[in-house]
Structure 1
Amino acid sequence: MIKYYNRKLKKYEIEHVAGDIYLNWIYSSPIGMRFLEIIFKKKIFSKLYGYFCDGKLSRKKIPNFINDFNINMNECIKNENDFKSFNDFFTRKLKKDARPICENSDSLISPGDGRILVYSNINLNKLIQVKGLTYKLIDLIGKNKLAEKFKYGSFMVLRLAPTDYHRFHFIDNGICDVSQKIKGDYYSVNPAALKKIPELFCKNKRELSLFHSQNFGDVLYIEVGATCVGSIIQTYFPKKNILKGSEKGYFKFGGSTIILFFEKEKVIFDSDLIEQTEKGYETKVMLGEKIGIKVKSNS
């Protein structure tokens, strides 16, 4: 059972997890963990399932998925019957007014839909995965000089469940460098997995890019793949001017994670997000929603 905080309704809710029986078995039983290491974490498993989700036969999954998880199809550009495959539905685009972007230049926005945790004044060698489990930024990105740039800075973790909108966007105007791929495994990013697999984010397939933002300094943008995520697709143009809220890319089928690192004294996260993180709860946020504010310079 995953309990998260709904900041709009100011109450806790229980997440309806896609494949929860499967996930609980995999990450809580000795046999399940054995199958995880032999089969489920491997690239070939996620790739084969990705091929199925790209095929026409997978369209049969769409109606049940919409009904089971109460997907709001009024937000989508396409109608239910217009999708060519399950992945076509999973990577669906939304109407422009479905996710209003907070235009205030001092406001930090969420890069996507999901459940967020936020941390400030970070120790690069003890980044929190869950209570009792930490990892190092150098192990996550493999670049010591770049890691040092974010010493005592801030970071946020946005977990996208399979039921969420799976396109991710830019948090500000700016210019983004070329995305770099890091090979890895395909563990689930569900909290059940995060509690069982040490340094999970450092083990999974991921991509990273440095975003030179107009208002929040240099931001390290990391996308982490997960079980059944066949691909991380980048759709932006590197080294070109980018507008706040514009699309950066999307994940194909599966739960996924976005991690953003900010330099020291660039961002202050909203107090409710800080409070819920300290209590051990994720907070549900949507693309374009304000999650923090720019630190004003004294100069």
Structure 2
Amino acid sequence: MGSEKEEILIMLKYFYRFLIDLTNNLYISSIVRAYTTSKISKRLIPSFIKVFKINESEIEKNINDYKSLHDFFIRTLKKDARQIDEDSTTVISPVDGFVEDLGTITEEKNILVKGQLFSIRKMLGNDQAFEKYIDGVFMIIYLSPKDYHRIHSPVSGQVISQWDLGGKSYPVNKWGLKYGKSPLSENYRKISEIECNGVHVVLAKVGALFINSVTLTHENEFLEKGEEIGYFSFGSTVILLFEKDSFKANGNIKNKSIKMGQKIGVLVQNLLNNMIE
């Protein structure tokens, strides 16, 4: 009985990957993009709001003012819709989402999520950068279709490097993480490394099924905590990396939904500096 169940799971895994490979190509992606950015797709907005139970009261514009489903998906919010934790020692969530996992970055370079191993080294694509984060902390935040998809800076600091990696993108929901082909380390991703008072933080923006787009909107190299830096187009995950002994996460956020601007932990160096002052 056990072996039959394992065989079914293996078949499901490969079938799932086959479907993704079949549909996730430039031609299909172009069709999806063309439709979701067209005026015709505007008709789907009311049902999209209803299905995903989106809070209309926090949306900046009137629903009728959005030109397409994609236009609505990358919506901005009213200024008071999210509160930014102003304490200089804190790190905030850069997005609305669900904390899928939180843990220590080991020398084995892998993290276990939903029963699969993902390589942080491969996700970064930079061995030299990875060395700084061994024994540090990683955090994975998944954004569902209902979430606000603008990305904000988790700290105030200088963008010291930024690079793109990956091509195809598997889903990053629970099924994609369980059956996909290492989506967190293989998907299209745009990675930023920020220096905050001598401490380095990686903010990796991982694309998802069909549309890989991660659009940056910030123009300056220096970022203020809570400042908008970009947005996702349809489906996404954020991965945060912190150096060893530089970050202490809130103990109650794993497997919880969080909002952009919410405190997710503190930078130890900033906390020590405040204590000395």
TM-score (norm 2): 0.87
Task: Give the corresponding residue for 1:108.
Answer: 91
Flag the 1:223–1:44 CA change in 2: closer, same or farther, 3 A: farther
**Alpha-carbon offset, residue 209 of structure 1:** 1.3
Q: Does residue 1:234 correspond to 2:216, yes or no?
A: yes
Task: Give the corresponding residue for 2:139.
Answer: 156
Alignment counterpart, residue 77 of structure 1, candidates 53, 60, 65:
60
Q: Does residue 1:290 correspond to 2:263, yes or no?
A: yes
Task: Give the corresponding residue for 1:61.
Answer: 44
Q: Is the 8 A contact 2:114 2:174 kept in 1?
A: no
Give the SS at the match of 2:130. helix
User: How far does the alpha carbon of each residue in 1:182-204 deviate from its partner, in whole angstroms, 9 at most, with x for none?
Assistant: 13212100111111124221221
- CA root-mean-square deviation: 2.1
Task: Give the corresponding residue for 1:263.
Answer: 243
Q: Is the 8 A contact 1:110 1:171 kept in 2?
A: yes
Task: Give the corresponding residue for 1:246.
Answer: 227
1:260 partner amino acid: L
Q: Is the 8 A contact 1:178 1:238 kept in 2?
A: no
Flag the 1:78–1:134 CA change in 2: closer, same or farther, 3 A: same
* Structure 2 unaligned regions, length at least 5: 1-10
Work out the CA distance in 2 between the residues paired with 1:198 and 1:183. Answer: 12
**Alpha-carbon offset, residue 46 of structure 1:** 2.6
Work out the CA distance in 2 between the residues paired with 1:33 and 1:219. Answer: 32
**Alpha-carbon offset, residue 158 of structure 1:** 0.7
Work out the CA distance in 1 between the residues paired with 2:120 and 2:107. Answer: 5
Work out the CA distance in 1 between the residues paired with 2:247 and 2:113. Answer: 22
Work out the CA distance in 2 between the residues paired with 1:72 and 1:122. Answer: 36
Q: Is the 8 A contact 2:111 2:120 kept in 1?
A: no
Give the SS at the match of 2:179. coil
With 287-296 and 27-36 compared, the bigger mean Cα shift is at: 27-36
**Alpha-carbon offset, residue 131 of structure 1:** 4.2
Task: Give the corresponding residue for 1:6.
Answer: none
Q: 1:1-299 maps to which residues of 2 (within 5 A)? A: 28=12, 31-39=15-23, 41-177=24-160, 179-214=162-197, 217-239=199-221, 241-253=222-234, 255-273=235-253, 277=254, 282-295=255-268, 296-297=271-272
Work out the CA distance in 2 between the residues paired with 1:30 and 1:138. Answer: 25
Give the SS at the match of 1:188. coil
Q: Is the 8 A contact 2:85 2:261 kept in 1?
A: yes
Work out the CA distance in 2 between the residues paired with 1:139 and 1:124. Answer: 13
**Alpha-carbon offset, residue 137 of structure 1:** 2.1
Work out the CA distance in 2 between the residues paired with 1:29 and 1:158. Answer: 23
* Runs of 4 or more consecutive aligned structure 1 residues displaced over 6 Å after TM superposition: none
With 129-138 and 259-268 compared, the bigger mean Cα shift is at: 129-138
With 118-127 and 60-69 compared, the bigger mean Cα shift is at: 118-127
Identity of matched residues, %: 35
Work out the CA distance in 2 between the residues paired with 1:114 and 1:167. Answer: 11
**Alpha-carbon offset, residue 32 of structure 1:** 4.6
**Alpha-carbon offset, residue 56 of structure 1:** 0.7
**Alpha-carbon offset, residue 28 of structure 1:** 4.2
**Alpha-carbon offset, residue 220 of structure 1:** 1.0
**Alpha-carbon offset, residue 210 of structure 1:** 0.9
Q: Is the 8 A contact 1:43 1:186 kept in 2?
A: no
Flag the 1:149–1:34 CA change in 2: closer, same or farther, 3 A: same
Give the SS at the match of 1:179. strand
Q: Is the 8 A contact 1:109 1:290 kept in 2?
A: yes
Give the SS at the match of 1:195. helix
Work out the CA distance in 2 between the residues paired with 1:61 and 1:165. Answer: 17
User: How far does the alpha carbon of each residue in 1:196-229 deviate from its partner, in whole angstroms, 9 at most, with x for none?
Assistant: 1242212211111111124x81111111000133
